[in-house]
Structure formats: C-alpha cells, structure tokens
Amino acid sequence: MKKYLFANWKMYLDVAESVALARAFKNLKQSSEISTAVFPSALAATSVVAALQGSAIAVGAQNVYFVDKGGVTGEISAAMFQATGCEFALVGHSERRHLFGETNHVVRQKIDAVVTTKIIPVLCIGETKEQRDKNETAEVLEAQIRSAFTDVAWPAGRDFIIAYEPVWAIGTGAACEPEEAERIAGLVASWTTALMGPEFALIILYGGSVRPDNVSAYINQTHISGVLVGAASTHEDSWQAILEAL
Ligand code: PGA
C-alpha cells in the first residue's frame, strides 16, 4: 500500500531557505512506495516547484481562499496555486482554525473551491485538549468531517485525504499514542464512508509531533497511510532520518 509523507513547512522558512531545503530533499534517496509532498509558504511555492522539477516530490499549498479571483486583499485562490504547479492543499489546518478563526463553514467553502480545480485537498481535523478532556473528541471530529463533505460535489476518481492532527499534539512534542491515532482513524474511515460511499478511496494521515523515532509506529497502523510532519520536516537531517526510519 502506498504511504504518504507530507512536509508542512508552515512559516518556518523564507524563499531562499525553502528552495535550499527542496534541493536537499530532491537529492535524498527515497522509496518509490512513498508519495512525498512539501507545503512551502505561498511566497516560495513557485520557486519550490521549479527547484523540484524532475523529482517525484509534489508541492502543496498551506492554505487557499475560496474565491477564484477578485477584490480579496492578501488571499490566494486554489486556482492560482494550481497554476503555479501545486497538486495538494491543506484545508482547515488547526493553526488556521485557531489563530485565524476559520470555522467549519469557512473550511467547507474552501473544500468546495478546491474541488473545482485539480488540487487534492488535505482536510485537517483535530480536537483541542479541553475537548478531549471533556470526552468530546468523537463529536468534534465527526462534525468537522460532516461539515466539510456532506453533499459535496466530489469529482469521480479524485483522491481525498484527511489528516488527523490533535491540536494538543501539534508542535508540543506530546504526540498522540499510535494506538489512539489508529482508533480515531478507524472512526474517521467509518464516518467518511457513510457520508461519501465506499467508492471513494480515503487516505488518512496522522500529524502532531511526528519525529524520526515515532514515524514508523503511525505509518504501520491499519487505517493510517501516512504522516503530516511540521517542525521535523524543516531540517534536512531530521527529514533524512524520517525517510530512513520508513
Ligand atoms: P508538528 O506539526 O509536526 O510540528 O507538530 C504538524 C502540523 O502542524 O502539521
């Protein structure tokens, strides 16, 4: 089964650093069983696409806006990212939801915009520590999925990816136990199949403090096909260690 290794560079790298890291990634040996994508800042997307020409590494957007073109100061549409060569887009990353107030409704508008392009969306879902402590995890995640996908006009044959990223595990070093991430991934698969039908092949990733020493434990779970890595994807050494661990 194909495995997915996605690198979310967030706002860690400027353009020159992004291009340098992309070139370094291109030179690392990696198995053809692993599908890799990097998500640079919007500013670096064009240069990173150019730097990765001729490699199997894809490029994705960290965020998109849901209007194609118009008077929307400071935003960039899915169509524009597609035109620069991006193949994936993160939608509803927890930092977007929590730092920029993106609601489930806004996330849905972005999903609707992305499906009008050829970009494959990576819907990010996750519960906060408080929600987990109150036993609301399943309810919160199911609502995020329902809002994103109910009655969506999904193009036949288009992959879709859901990244389970518990908010309390992102950037904290406190990764979710692999067995718990697998239990959640099983729930995600059943909710999504009920919503979209069995003909859509769902790809589920885990994200949140993935490191070289824990990556294999996630990727070998039944319902988890890959990982979305933040901080550990922003250095050549730790990325190489992740590739070697796989
Ligand atoms: P982290 O981030 O690996 O630094 O925890 C993951 C993410 O936010 O996608």
CATH number at residue 10: 3.20.20.70
Q: Reduced to 3 states, what is the DSSP secondary structure of residue 95?
A: helix
Distance (Å, whole) CA 109 – CA 147: 10
The pLDDT value recorded for residue 136 is 98
Q: Is 231 in the pocket of ligand 1 (CB under 6 A)?
A: yes
Q: Containing domain of residue 33, as a range?
A: 3-245
The pLDDT value recorded for residue 112 is 96
Residue count (the chain): 246
**Minimal-distance CA residue to ligand 1 atom 2:** 230
Q: How many domains does the chain have?
A: 1
In tens, the pLDDT along 95-111 reads 999 999 999 999 999 99
The pLDDT value recorded for residue 159 is 86
The pLDDT value recorded for residue 1 is 79
The pLDDT value recorded for residue 32 is 87
The pLDDT value recorded for residue 142 is 98
Q: How many CA atoms lie within 13 A of 20 on its CB side?
A: 8
Distance (Å, whole) CA 87 – CA 147: 23
The pLDDT value recorded for residue 35 is 95
The pLDDT value recorded for residue 164 is 98
**Minimal-distance CA residue to ligand 1 atom 7:** 230
* Pocket probe mutation, ligand 1, options 4, 5, 8, 215, max atoms within 8 Å of Cβ: 8
The pLDDT value recorded for residue 101 is 97
Distance (Å, whole) CA 62 – CA 123: 11
Active site residues: 93, 165
Q: Which positions of the chain have pLDDT values less than 70?
A: none
Indicate which atom in ligand 1 lies nearest the CA of residue 172.
5
Distance (Å, whole) CA 60 – CA 122: 9
Sign of the dihedral through C-alpha 96, 116, 85, 218:
positive
The pLDDT value recorded for residue 134 is 98
What residues contact 204, with CB distance under 8 A and at least 6 apart? Answer: 161, 162, 163, 164, 185, 188, 189, 223, 224, 225
The pLDDT value recorded for residue 206 is 98
